[in-house]
Amino acid sequence: MAEFTMELNDDQKQVRDWLHGFAADVIRPAAAEWDEREETPWPVIQEAAKVGIYGLDFYAQQFFDPTGLGIPMAMEELFWGDAGIALSIVGTGLAAIGVVANGTEEQIGTWIPQMYGTPDDVKLAAFCSSEPDAGSDVGAMRTRAVYDQAKDEWVLNGTKTWATNGGIANVHIVVAVVDPELGTKGHASFIVPPNTPGLSQGQKFKKHGIRASHTAEVVLEDVRVPGSCLLGGKGKLDERLAKAHERARAGGGERVKNAAMATFEASRPAVGAMAVGTARAAYEVALDYAKTRTQFGRPIIDNQGVAFQLADMRTSIDAARLLVWRASWMAVAGKPFTSAEGSMSKLFASETAKKVTAQAVQILGGNGFTREYPVERMHRDSAIYTIFEGTSEIQRLVIARTLSGMPIR
């Protein structure tokens, strides 16, 4: 187990500089165009695939970094470039992680390559969990999966929403209810292969920010998938459901729910790192502007009202990064989040991104309010961090209940 450190090693620095160069040379120049077009930036994704950034191998290397800093470092640099394009590049990873975490070796070997494709034939994947009436309240999920034993097929029906790459992906990973009596413990995940009849794209959302990332509803109407598409296999599912029923009868269901929440908690620092990247980008633009913009015969950074804002912005960004790094290291090191450190990092970094980007707009004044400068887009993009992967209100709830010892529902 690696000791916690705030100093990147030589290999990590090399990767960081490589990612920063890609973000600066490829992502940033394309950011304004794809934000206006509100379309998936295929050329940028293809370029990321050619250089080795879009692919499971790269993210696996970062994920298994023994210091825990590989993923947050990568997320910060890519999202420093542009949040919408970066989310298009990393969005497939959400589905890939679902397969790696829950699938068999055969499923991983079969489906992960189909999610990414090749540099010459890029593919996408989508992770479909949220529903119109089941966002923060995953217990309200209605999408059902029913097993047809005669055909060894699962039949899926329901509507998913807020799905990154939803409807345009080659492979969809869908979370569905298989045992309604068990609530959240009665859920399972399914692979929906390319061109499966019954799956269609519903509404494509026109968003306030991250507009280069495709977000849409996914409609499932009698979607039939082979039994082999149940992640983990039916034997493992039956065993898990039987144990859950047994615990429920014994009154131990809440303990199982807390364990599930603890697993989910470990993924939140990555979103915090995305927020740090956007906040850092806005801060750097504001700092450069304050040094060169003159009013009343001197640079505006000479005014305490501006200088103090920049000081607060930099302090908050560094604090957010430290919380993200701490939680990321704890997750890799197997340290329990006894104070909901994962939610702490996501909460603070998300709120920091919203505040810092707003301050950047203010420092640029009228220029900051126009699309001629990127802080306007960064400010719009930052709003998503306090919403997805658990709203700020949910993070506070998780933290408060963890500190008090109350059940996390």
Please report, for residues 250, 262, 339, 390, the alpha-carbon distance to residue 335 in angstroms, rounded to integers and kept in the order given.
29, 11, 11, 22
Catalytic residue among 217, 351, 376, 389: 389
Question: Which among 172, 167, 96 is positioned nearest to 129, based on CA atoms?
Answer: 172
Backbone angles phi, psi at 348, to 5 degrees: -70, -40
- Count other Cβ atoms within 10 Å, centred on residue 314: 16
Q: What residue spans of 159-267 are helical by DSSP H?
A: 234-249, 253-265
**Paired residues of 201 in beta bridges:** 218
Q: How many residues does the chain have?
A: 409
Query: 48: part of which helix (H) or strand (E)?
Result: helix 42-51
Type and span of the H or E element at 199: strand 199-204
Angle, helices 268-292 vs 83-102, to 10°: value is: 160
Nearest to residue 267, comparing CAs of 394, 390, 122? Answer: 390
- Environment class of residue 277 by beta-carbon count within 10 Å: exposed (0-12), middle (13-18) or buried (19+)? buried
Q: Is 153 known to be catalytic?
A: no
Crossing angle between the packed helical segments 341-364 and 268-292, to the nearest 10 degrees: 20
Other CB atoms within a 10 A radius of the CB of residue 325 amount to 24
Q: What is the CA radius of gyration of the chain?
A: 22
* Pairing verdict, β 153-164 and 117-118: unpaired
Return the SS3 of 52: coil
CA distance 300 to 134: 47
54-79 in b/e form (b: 16+ CB < 10 A) is bbbebbeebbebebbbbbbbbbbbbb
Residue closest to 317 by CA, chosen among 364, 360, 267 = 360
Catalytic residue set: 389
